Structure 1
Amino acid sequence: MPGPPPPPGVRSPSSGAARSARWAGLAGAVLLTVAGWLGGALPRTTAVPDPGGGPWTVALWLGGAGLMVGAWWALRGGAPSTRWAYRTAGLWALPLLAAPPLGSRDVYSYACQGWTYAHGADPYATGVAGAGCPWVESVAPIWRDTPAPYGPVFVLLAAFAVTLGGGLVGAIVAFRLLAVAGVLLAAGCLPGLARAAGVPTRRAVWLALACPLLGVHLVAGAHNDAVMLGLLLSGLLVVVRRPGRAGSLLLAGALLGLAVTVKATAVVVLPFAALAAVPGRHTVRALLRDGGWLAGGALGAVAVSSLLSGLGLGWVGGLTRSGDSEQWTSPPTAVGFVVDYAGGLLGREPGAVPATRAAGVLLLAVAVVTLWWRAWSGLRRPHQRRPGPGRPLDGVRQRAARTDAARPRVALLGAGLALAATVVLAPVFHPWYATWPLALLAVAARRTTWFVAPCAAAAFLTLPDGTNLARLTKAPGALAMTALAVGLAAWGLLRLRRTGAARPG
């Protein structure tokens, strides 16, 4: 049977364009590294922040980000080859490996949480300041008194990194090695997932690995999102390669469960992985059977890691504090800001942010359920058809066979959209969150501009020392984000009405 048609916009760039993009991106990575040493998230020995390199730091940072984003965007239709994409992404990562932590101070929080656990305290019951971490001055002030929001597997990894490093600098190096390992694991899974979804591997690898967000925040910033993505993609690869096999599904579920015990947001992928786990005809019985093996592996990984760490499920409570930061980059938070501004003009103080954030979480639940139901219905429909007048049996079988071949893409695309909804509707947004849906949409989406453009914009949201530019533009940013959210919601509703009107009967 012939393969799927190539996605629109997928074409090989000219050799000159590819060469220019490669060296422009490398130059950008070097500029970002220099900016990091001038005014990045360096360790602090006092409570007074280091003012860094001032205007020169900002100029180098924005110039480097512009070069990397421009080079990535220029080849968004696909690199010359998969190997070329790997080599170029690796080349860009080399200078970033020599940079100090970039874009945030979260890695210092990881170090203190690992120190807390290694010294016998519960990081889910106390903040790192209360635990007496010797490196607390390097942690961003907002996170010094909050419990760890990460799962037990990452707490164990953090304690291992601190013990192995022997000090703060050594721990940072260990965290970066963990992040690189996660990126490499994810990189190894991309071709297999892209082939299963019928997407060119040269495009998928380029979009996922050459994105500046990955190099700056996952490699240089050493964010634990890299470990989560590595486990997540490896679990999904096992599912799409060996559906319907109990042992493989248990392994895949365990990998997905471990991803959840690094960052809980990975849980939205599980329902879509269950769809990919069913080979052939999608029935409720088959879903319960194969999805049950997958769920068993995931629950087993969560239970075992919680027991082995001795921390139980205390990490679930820590998730409630991850929204302590309020920024307009989260659409629900931005809407709350605007409501508060309007109330202030009327002499009132609505305090709407908690309410709009709760509404965002409710909308997220509805979105995930809707996405799953649409995917499930699309996979079941061809198998439910019966031959009739003008519909021969062979035609029905052919449609069912095409649906079976498209099963991995339907599941992966649904998972990517669910992660995108999670990023958009969550109470807080940080630029590195965009790497979650990016990795899956890169291997499953036909059209790319709609998710590549936001990732490109997110690359400019932070400065090398972790300062988020959203803090400096609170009011105008909240108004712009709210207008964008209202506009997109209106567009979506109008499109749904048109789709409904176009359906017969």
Structure 2
Amino acid sequence: MSEPDAVPDGPVRPVAAALARYAGLAGAVLLTVGGWLGGALPDAPVTTSLGGLWRAPHGPGVLGCWLAGTVLLVGAWWSLRWGAPSARWAYLTAGLWLLPLLGAPPLGSRDVYSYVCQGWSWTQGVSPYQVGVAAAGCPWTDTVSPIWRDTPAPYGPFFVLLAGLAVLAGGGLAGAIVLLRVIAVAGLLLAALCLPGLARAVGVPTRRAAWLALACPLVGVHLVAGAHNDAVGLGLVLFGLLVLVRKPGKPRALVVAGVSLGLAVAVKAVAVVVLPFAVLAAVLGRYTWRALLRDGGWLAGAVLATLLVVSLVTGLRLGWVEGLAHSGDSQQWTSPPTAVGFVVDYAGVLLGREPHAVPVLRVAALVLLVVLLVALWWRGWTALRGLNDVRQRVVRIAAARPRVALVGAGLALAATVLLAPVFHPWYAIWPLALLAVATRSPARTVWFVAPSAVASVLALPDGTNLARFTKAPGAILMTALVVAVAVGAALRAAGSRRAT
């Protein structure tokens, strides 16, 4: 992976790099040990309190391994946030950290058991979008978290197909989990192959983009050990964007990119917010409405055709869209709108009322999200159109196209993750990967790297989310952060207006 960015922006001392590499490896080993002592094993009871986990047979060992392993892994990743010594070093180190986690039991959540049961339901001719896995009669229902046993699947038909194939080929629960982990690793490898091309197109050092996107503890713990379907969806998104960045305006390339992006949406619906910015990357030449309709039409047609074919082939049609409505059944302060709703409810109780603000603020957040997505797309569109009449138009448009599209897609994913009704730690990987390849300034990476580091400590090995035990203080802290960000944004906007 030789490239011109092998020399870091700032010198990385060999001793510091070696220390980070092996500290992270030790952390991954400790997390794997903690997983076998008390991870999300099939017969492990669901934790209802931290005290209950501590009193479990291996409770102190589990918590000790989790704490030490997480601190080492997050600290090692954070220490090289400005970039690894080289791209090759970043890839090798990220792979080294993943090796022990490949042999760990499911970590950080029990979602993989939901995947297996949903895939089993489909193989039995039962739509996982119509009934929960308990009603479908899945033989492994007891392994699924209670909150999701009676909930329809919120995932797309392509992933249900993959889960069903894993069940058929695996021959049982353990075999299906192994195959789902193989599928997740394949998605991660696809993402890893796409990172250098995307980073070079924007002018970002691959050694930094690869380190931030692949060595993040969320990747090893949740995408690999947890076998989350986000790995497949993210790999397909990055591949589709890479095709568009390399060959905009070419009908065959647009169809290939559309199929990849359509499959990504058919894995997880969050990928849909990337599509408008993918259209910006698809246009070749001057940015006009006619060119947008021409090139964007090829891309949109391929996406829609892919979704239609997958829905028909699996026999699931569009029932998966209805399942998305249940993804917000969980209420945790890690979702900013939910946290603000909690605080409003707390204040209402003090005043003798129960405002039930959480549903209202969740709807308001979704409305705000739509506004932000439209604003982000319009800003990218106008920026590219503004290059139509400048000198060296072709050169400047070719240089700006990938940066505008990738930054827009990354910000859109960040807004979606932050304003969604529910937030789980692995959701942060989506904007992290896009922004890692699109952010030129190392200093500007902190705003999305720091939250990813915090998210890495939220889930215990058995899938227990620490947010469950910190509802009130977490909600107050998150609300204070939301207020601070809103005030800061208002002050900057006022300053900009005064300057003009």
TM-score interval, normalised by the smaller of the two chains: over 0.9
> Percent identity of the aligned residues?
69
Letter in 1 for 2:377: W
Q: 1:348-383 CA deviation, whole Å, 9 max, x = no partner? A: 111111000001111111111111111111111121
Q: Quick one: distance in 2 between partners of 1:371 and 1:495?
A: 18
Cα deviation per residue 1:252-310 (whole Å; 9 max; x = unaligned)?
01100100000001000000010011122111111111111110110011000001011
- Out of 321, 329, 338, the position equivalent to 1:324 is 329
Alignment partner of 2:303 out of 275, 298, 301? 298
Of the three residues 387, 407, 430, the one matched with 2:401 is 407
What residue is the counterpart of 2:498 in the other structure? 501
Give the partner amino acid of 2:236: L
Structure-2 residue corresponding to 1:90:
95
CA 1:425–1:325: 2 relative to 1, 3 Å: same
2:113 aligned with 1:108: yes
Aligned residue for 2:34?
35
Select 2:364's aligned residue among 359, 363, 366: 359
Alignment correspondent of 2:386: 381
Residues 48 and 75 of structure 1: CA distance in aligned 2, closer, same or farther (over 3 Å): closer
- 3-state SS of the aligned residue for 2:457? coil
Matched, 1:77 2:82: yes
Q: Which amino acid aligns with 1:397?
A: R
Query: 2:174 is matched with which residue?
Result: 169
- What is aligned with 2:424? 430
Q: Do the aligned partners of residues 355 and 301 (structure 1) sit closer, same or farther apart at CA in structure 2, a change above 3 Å counting?
A: same
Contact 2:47 2:464 in 1 (8 A): no
* Unmatched 5+ stretches in structure 1: 385-395
Does the 8 A contact of 1:330 with 1:424 survive in 2? Answer: yes
**Equivalent residue for 1:393?**
none
Tell me which residue corresponds to 1:392: none
Shift of 1:11: 2.6
Which one of 402, 410, 422 corresponds to residue 416 of structure 1?
A: 410
Q: Could you tell me how far apart the structure 2 residues matched to 1:70 and 1:372 are? A: 35
Matched to 1:249, the amino acid is: L
Match of 1:231 in 2: 236
Paired letter, 2:348:
G
Report the Cα offset of residue 35 of structure 1. Answer: 0.6
Aligned equivalent of 2:245: 240
Which of 196, 212, 217 in structure 1 is aligned with 2:217? 212
Deviation at 1:16, TM superposition (A): 1.0
Q: Secondary structure at the match of 1:496?
A: helix
Structure 1 residue 14: Cα displacement: 1.2
Q: Is the 8 A contact 2:248 2:282 kept in 1?
A: yes
> What CA deviation, in whole Å up to 9, does each residue of 1:126-157 have, x standing for no partner?
00000111101100000000000000000000
Equivalent of 1:443 in 437, 440, 448: 437
Structure 1 residue runs of 4 or more that deviate by more than 4 Å after TM superposition:
45-50
Q: Is the 8 A contact 1:196 1:409 kept in 2?
A: yes
Structure 2 unaligned segments of length 5 or more: list them.
none
| Deviation larger for 268-277 or 42-51 | 42-51
**AA aligned opposite 1:430:** H
Q: Matches of 2:336 and 2:140 in 1, distance apart? A: 34
C-alpha displacement at 1:53, in angstroms? 2.0
Q: What secondary structure does 2:306 align onto?
A: helix
Shift of the 439–45 alpha-carbon distance from structure 1 to 2, 3 Å rule, reads closer
Instruction: Kindly state the Cα deviation for residue 48 of structure 1 after the two structures are TM-superposed.
Output: 9.3
> What code does the residue aligned with 2:174 have?
V
How many correspondences in the alignment?
486
- Name the CA distance, whole Å, in 2 between partners of 1:165 and 1:188: 27
Structure 2 residue aligned with 1:390: none
The partner residue of 1:338 within 337, 343, 351 is 343
Is residue 81–residue 212 contact of structure 2 (8 Å, CA) maintained in 1? yes
Q: 1:283 to 1:48 in 2, by over 3 A?
A: closer
Counterpart check, 1:185 vs 2:184? no
Counterpart Cα distance in 2 of 1:45 and 1:281 = 59
CA distance 1:22–1:169, shift in 2 (3 Å)? same
Asked if structure 2 preserves the Cα contact closer than 8 Å seen for 1:326 and 1:333, the reply is: yes
1:99 aligned onto 2:96: no
Provide Cα deviations, 1:213-251, integer angstroms capped at 9, x if missing partner.
000000000000000011110000000000010111011
Per the TM alignment, residue 417 of structure 1 is displaced from its structure 2 partner at its CA by: 0.4
What is the distance in 1 between the residues matched to 2:34 and 2:472? 28
The one-letter code of the counterpart of 1:433 is: Y
Tell me what 1:457 maps to: 454
CA distance in 1, matches of 2:46, 2:238: 40
Deviations 1:460-496 (A, max 9, x none): 0010000000000000100000110011011112112
Give the partner amino acid of 1:333: T
User: Cα deviation per residue 1:80-125 (whole Å; 9 max; x = unaligned)?
Assistant: 1111111100000000001000000000000000011111111000
Quote the Cα distance in structure 2 between the aligned partners of 1:361 and 1:138.
32
Amino acid at match of 2:410: G
Q: Tell me, yes or no, if the aligned pair for 2:187 and 2:236 is still in contact at 8 Å.
A: yes
The structure 1 residue matched to 2:203, chosen from 177, 198, 208, is 198
**Paired residue type of 1:398:** Q
Shift of 1:52: 5.7
Check if 1:398 corresponds to 2:389. no
Paired amino acid for 1:43: P
The residue that corresponds to 1:15 in the other structure is 14
1:160 is aligned to 2:165: yes
Deviation at 1:499, TM superposition (A): 1.8
Query: What SS class does the counterpart of residue 91 from structure 1 fall into?
Result: helix
Q: Given the two structures, how large is their TM-score scaled by the length of structure 2?
A: 0.95
* Distance in 2 (alpha carbons) for counterparts of 1:242 and 1:407: 12
Matched, 1:481 2:487: no
**1:46 Cα offset (Å):** 7.8
